[in-house]
Amino acid sequence: MITLYWIPRPWPGKLAIAARPRGSDWLDSEMPDWKNASVNAVLSRLTSHEERDLDLARREAPVVDEGLWFASLSVPDRYVPSSPSELAPTLDEIDAELTSGKNVVIH
């Protein structure tokens, strides 16, 4: 199971960060663990290159199959998004999830 690191927050929902899930066949077994940990939404920061290398290219399907909301914001390690306008819509969605009392994991 992936360890979730919960962050103190001002929202009704909880925000956590986590290492990326294991790829390949492990992915299907880890998503129910996230749901059992009261996770409602997942934001992935992996790039398409990382997804291929880590065998996580199909990571969205198991997340959605568990009834979780999924979004991707590809940001290479040690970089920041290229512009505020690129980041704003995703942050608005995350804020809405947290404000409605849902728990979000960013990996």
Domain ranges of the chain: 5-106
Q: Does pTM top 0.85 for this prediction?
A: no
Strands 69-72 and 5-7: unpaired
Tens of pLDDT, residues 82-101: 888 888 999 999 999 999 99
The domain 5-106 belongs to what CATH superfamily?
Protein tyrosine phosphatase superfamily (3.90.190.10)
Q: What is the CA radius of gyration of the chain?
A: 13
Q: What is the rounded average pLDDT for all residues in the chain? A: 84
CA distance 81 to 8: 23
Structure tokens at 53: 């290398």
pLDDT of 48: 82
